[in-house]
Chain A
Amino acid sequence: MATTGTPGNITQAHSTGTKGGIGESTLRPDGTLKVTGEFAYSSDMWHEDMLWGHTLRSTVAHAEIRSIDTSEALATSGVYAVLTYDDLPAAMKNYGLEIKDTPVLAHGKVRHHGEPVALVAADHPETARRAAAKIRIDYVDLPVVTDEVSATAPGAPLVHENRDDHHMAHAPHPNIVHRQPIVRGDANAAAARADVIVSGEYVFGMQDQAFLGPESGLAVPAEDGGVDLYIATQWLHSDLGQIAPVLGLPEEKIRMTLAGVGGAFGGREDLSMQIHACLLALRTGKPVKIVYNRFESFFGHVHRHPAKLWYEHGATRDGRLTHMRCRIVLDGGAYASASPAVVGNASSLAVGPYVIDDVDIEALALYTNNPPCGAMRGFGAVQACFAYEAQMDKLAAKLDMDPVELRRLNAMEQGSVLPTGQVVDSPAPVAELLRRVKAMPMPPEQQWVTTEGADVRALPGGLSNTTHGEGVVRGVGYAVGLKNVGFSEGFDDYSTARVRLEVLAGQPVVTVHTAMAEVGQGGVTVHAQIARTELGVTQVTIHPADTQVGSAGSTSASRQTYVTGGAVKNACEAVREKALELGRVRFGTYHPAWATAELLLEGGKVVTDGGEVLANLADVLGTDAIDLELEWRHRPTEPFHPHTGQGNGHVQYSFAAHRAVVEVDTELGLVKVVELACAQDVGKALNPLSVLGQIQGGTTQGLGVAVMEEILVDPKTAKVRNPSFTDYLIPTILDTPTIPVDVLELADEHAPYGLRGIGEAPTLSSTPAVLSAIRAATGLELNRTPVRPEHLTGTSPTS
């Protein structure tokens, strides 16, 4: 005990709590640095005597590498190192999130366009680029597989000749990464009871995360033979576990610190330049920085799986769904990445937020020579939602019912059973969200009309001045979606938080240290709010995220506020108990309430639940610091049965509904999304301002894939045709409408504070809502996303 004494000079009664706790729209702690340009993103890192790394990537999709000649590149003035597969230092030469099938540098063959083949370190980025261009590679082209037919045809080339991963056992073909059937009830018998049946085939294009901050980082060789890596990622410890075996170093010799992350959306779950920068730094003995430009970024990360989906729904005359059958084929590209988990999501969420007792579902992911696909916001649930919501509209039309009414009639609710047999044991306000989004005020008709005439900026075609309103028709569409929160299928989904409470300059101060990747979502804001709420201390410092503390898991699957937030809450509670113990020892003899009352920490004081102030927290702590690191887990899940798909695979669900209002210039096939309203249940809004930001941002990404976003891959050569922001379009402020949001807070009793993961759900339903509205405006079937002008003007059948 460093100090003893009386509780000090306390006169006032119960404080009114601590400012900046949960439920408030507290501002970001990194906001000022970000608006002044001082926030250090991974591409801003700089070190004295630093070199620049560059990656040479394959110009072909599938080829045998006969030889690589690096001599001319090495002889270039200013070049310090040129590395190929032969220079890899350890026996392990591949990495991967689950299946270690991705080569650090291509060996023997390349399997997709843009695969890394060689690395260069030089004293100027342009020197590195020019030297890389001097590397001679002798390729012998191999035939490409690009879709299900070519990948599974007899004699089809195998993307991976010698697979030995554990998904092989249930994959019907070596070019199928993973397959998950889900069978419940008897879809055949139920189909016989249907009065109407609708079916459709849907195509979902390849979407890119298009985070703005390019892949980048700085590796600094250390005196102990290890390396310090400053990096933008979504999960430091997952990276570390993949980097160490390839470098042949123990994990403790690789110290990783999160550098500023310019968005992620799933695209930073896989490694990009991490190992490359470390290899170059260790070889040259100098710090090496790698920054991708946008062209390289399109090759440097996985994309959202493009998909082909076949769906059949039946219903009785009064609109009750009888059965659903579907088959979802996801293109995983050349390497597995997160494909197995994406298949698990696509299959288990394939039915959407509806009650259907009799289902027959199959989802699978292919290995092809297309660009590798993996995690992106919505993760397998997005593609399914696009199809089942199109089906709902089709069914409503056939039954001559209101499409929202049909959805509400079949909406799942608390207690419903999913196709996996899992019972939904928290609020599932699907019908309520639909009611709310429908009840929101509509934007005015002919919103482009001003007192001066038509404001062309508000019309389809915008500033291009393609119309003044003639030929423009309006449509309204609805959609709702179901997304899981957190990692599923038995994954040990834990997080770690270290919380330190001490007195500095006479005031109690909290430091929260986790390895959570802040990628823009606002986790750092929320952690400070949780600490203030639990410890009653205003001043909270968020320690930089690094590998000096236990894993926080990934910033993905809408899980960080839930899981790492839960860990911070848990650690704070343990610290609070310690502080109160300390108080009892020091001051317990002065006031009986220390032993008898329920005690809280509020406003820097120890108070009883009756509001009596017992002590200043600063006096309780004195010169002692309480410092605890704890792991926290949500309740466990289990794998889906490989043949029936049964199992309690998910921990929590997230729901959002959208209403889209569009105007279409039917002559030119141009679309203006006028408004995209959203209603979402967030369980508990820990930071209402951030909640809106997530919902509006997710909605906009869904809008993007509805009308413009697609990576185009040549079906003959498997080469990417549009790796730039000139040709891959993401919504600008002119393309993005007003996004009014109605937030519902129905607590999930199983989650910390009742919260619900929010980041992904709005990405699901926004795409089908826009498609539904365009169909309503044009009367066209439109079974493909994104919708392009040629689909609206009848100049192209579907794609």
Chain B
Amino acid sequence: MRVNFTVNGRKQEADDVWEGESLLYVLRERMGLPGSKNACEQGECGSCTVRLDGVPVCSCLVAAGQAEGREIVTVEGLADYAKHRDDEHPGGGCAGGGCGTSLDAAKRWQAMPHDSQSGEQGTELSPIQQAFIDAGAVQCGFCTPGLLVAADEMLEHTPSPTDADIREALSGNLCRCTGYEKILDAVRLAAARQDEVV
């Protein structure tokens, strides 16, 4: 079957998709976007987390056909996505919480062109990506893409999270290397930097 969807702001179509293929497989093996990781393929580890119409999901549990006509953001598009959100809501997030990205807003969003062949840096890193590097939250890095997508979405809803908020929001993402302490540091750091902008 053919699947039409938008990935990181670009219209895409995938042909000859077998009915049982997951969105994760289509992204990784057909779209050439291997950033979403394949650590358990049963929705337990969160390494494949992407946003589907703004909602974080385990892409291994989404059948490719379910993505028809929808908007997907992967870690590869996170920086552009965050930049766009910043333009809409400077400083990120919404006072009072709970604004997030509406379905409508997700649909209107277009990524900046990014040409990896030319070697040009298309965009800067998103605040959460930079914070993960700065705080030492990346070791083997296999859990990182999923954690980044989940953490970015949490900060959108909860710009000043408590530690308990962070732990709850990231409890679906396993990490085997870090002991999570530096991941907490990274999310706190991103939240603090977000505050400074405001």
A residues touching B (Cβ–Cβ < 8 Å)? 25, 27-28, 30-32, 34-41, 43-44, 46, 124, 126, 209-214, 260-265, 291, 293-294, 455, 457-458, 463, 519-522, 689-690, 692-693, 695-701, 724-726, 730, 732-734, 736, 738-739
Q: How many A-B residue pairs have CB under 8 A?
A: 186
A733 to B144, Cβ gap below 8 A? no
Q: How far is the CA of A521 from the CA of B116 in the complex (A)?
A: 28
Q: How far is the CA of A519 from the CA of B141 in the complex (A)?
A: 10
Contact of B136 among A260, A690, A733 (CB under 8 A): A690
Q: How far is the CA of A698 from the CA of B179 in the complex (A)?
A: 7
Q: Mark B1-35, 1 if CB is under 8 A from A, else 0.
A: 00000000000000000101100000011001111
Q: Contacts A31-B133, A726-B44 given: A700-B179 contact, CB under 8 Å?
A: yes
Q: How far is the CA of A265 from the CA of B134 in the complex (A)?
A: 24
The stretch of B61-69, B87-95, B102-110, B180-188 that contacts the partner chain: B180-188
Q: Contacts A463-B168, A724-B44 given: A692-B176 contact, CB under 8 Å?
A: no
A-B pairs with beta carbons under 8 Å apart, 14 shown: A31-B132, A32-B125, A36-B76, A38-B116, A210-B176, A214-B38, A262-B37, A263-B139, A263-B142, A294-B41, A294-B44, A696-B178, A733-B166, A733-B183
Q: How far is the CA of A41 from the CA of B75 in the complex (A)?
A: 15
A739 to B44, Cβ gap below 8 A? no
B74 within 8 A of A: yes
Q: Which of B18, B39, B74, B178 has the most CB of A within 10 A?
A: B39
B133 to chain A, nearest CB (A): 4
Q: How far is the CA of A36 from the CA of B177 in the complex (A)?
A: 19
Which residues of B from 38 to 56 have beta carbons under 8 Å from A? 38-42, 44-45, 47
Q: How far is the CA of A365 from the CA of B171 in the complex (A)?
A: 37
Q: Contacts of A699 on B, CB cut-off 8 Å?
A: 179
Q: How far is the CA of A212 from the CA of B168 in the complex (A)?
A: 20
Q: How far is the CA of A28 from the CA of B179 in the complex (A)?
A: 18
B37 to A41, Cβ gap below 8 A? yes
Q: Contacts of B168 on A, CB cut-off 8 Å?
A: 457, 463, 734
Q: How far is the CA of A265 from the CA of B133 in the complex (A)?
A: 22
B112 to chain A, nearest CB (A): 14
Contact of B141 among A34, A455, A701, A725 (CB under 8 A): A34
B79 to A36, Cβ gap below 8 A? yes
B191 within 8 A of A: no
Q: Contacts of A213 on B, CB cut-off 8 Å?
A: 37, 39, 140, 142
Q: How far is the CA of A738 from the CA of B183 in the complex (A)?
A: 12
Q: Contacts A211-B176, A262-B142, A734-B171 given: A28-B35 contact, CB under 8 Å?
A: no
Q: Contacts of A739 on B, CB cut-off 8 Å?
A: 179, 181
B138 within 8 A of A: yes
A693 to B34, Cβ gap below 8 A? no
B189 within 8 A of A: no
B181 to A730, Cβ gap below 8 A? no
Contact of A37 among B18, B132, B145, B173 (CB under 8 A): B145
B164 within 8 A of A: yes
B57 within 8 A of A: no
Q: How far is the CA of A696 from the CA of B21 in the complex (A)?
A: 37
Q: Contacts of B182 on A, CB cut-off 8 Å?
A: 689, 692-693, 696
Q: How far is the CA of A28 from the CA of B171 in the complex (A)?
A: 25
Q: Contacts A463-B168, A699-B179, A725-B44 given: A692-B136 contact, CB under 8 Å?
A: yes
Q: Contacts of B38 on A, CB cut-off 8 Å?
A: 43, 214, 291, 293
Q: Contacts of B39 on A, CB cut-off 8 Å?
A: 212-214, 262, 294
Q: How far is the CA of A499 from the CA of B18 in the complex (A)?
A: 49
B59 within 8 A of A: no
The 5 A-B residue pairs with the shortest CB-CB distance in the complex, in nearest-first order: A37-B35, A520-B140, A696-B179, A262-B142, A34-B141
B139 to A693, Cβ gap below 8 A? yes
A129 to chain B, nearest CB (A): 11
Q: How far is the CA of A405 from the CA of B174 in the complex (A)?
A: 37
**Chain A, Cβ-Cβ closest to B131:** A35
Q: How far is the CA of A767 from the CA of B61 in the complex (A)?
A: 34
Which residues of B from 82 to 125 have beta carbons under 8 Å from A? 116, 125
